Chains A and B, each alone.
Chain A
């Protein structure tokens, strides 16, 4: 019975390769999304650093949506709010917000690493299956 399981048809191996390739493509798109989020977080971090340092009293334009913004002034550069999810926002200082951003970047970097490892593993499996496929083809001709 165990040996029976090991014997796979050409189509089954091809299906498996296709499935791994699909997964690799999906994982790559996820890595891309993570990279975009990290880039976004770094921009926010740089903005916070600038505002804390030079923001007090500065005139700014606050976006209202659809490309429209209204003029405002930074009263307290150390008073920001952080979205913690579930529709709740918490008041924080710039340092706390930056700390939170750093934590999120670290978590995303770890996730990114895990995804890259999975891509590597899947690529190795695809290569093994391709080798298996190549070995199977001459057998079929005989």
Chain B
């Protein structure tokens, strides 16, 4: 029974780690986008994709959007890290 529980927990841990990696990758993407946006000249047009619809936005709006996304990703990362820690603790209790 303990082996089944450990297997389930390990599976959950793997899924959480994959999710975390995905979000970390998205954070890098945000950094890249922010770098390009801040370096662009003021006259250059910027658009935000709402599904397939592109809406023109200002540079400030673009940076604000990135900042909001960054905060959301950070919160999600924090939640996943907590969950990961919790599962690790459960796993260590099972193995002893």
Q: A residues near B, CB below 8 A? A: 65, 81, 83-92
Contacts and interface: CB of A to CB of B under 8 A. Distances in A.
Among A65, A86, A87, the one with the most B-chain Cβ atoms within 10 Å of its Cβ is: A86
B35 to A, nearest CB: 9
Given A86-B30, A86-B65, A89-B47, A81 B54 contact: yes
A14 to B, nearest CB: 22
Contact of A89 (B26, B29, B54, B69): B54
A91 B55 CA distance: 12
Q: Closest 10 A-B residue pairs measured CB to CB? A: A91-B45, A86-B33, A85-B29, A89-B47, A85-B33, A84-B33, A84-B36, A87-B49, A86-B30, A88-B62
A86 B49 CA distance: 9
A91 B44 CA distance: 6
Interface residue range, chain B? 20 to 34
Contacts, number: 52
25 contacts: A65-B52, A81-B54, A83-B49, A84-B32, A84-B33, A84-B36, A84-B37, A85-B29, A85-B30, A85-B32, A85-B33, A86-B65, A86-B66, A87-B49, A87-B65, A87-B69, A88-B47, A88-B49, A89-B46, A89-B48, A90-B37, A90-B40, A90-B45, A90-B46, A91-B45
A44 B30 CA distance: 24
A45 B49 CA distance: 22
B49 to A, nearest CB: 5
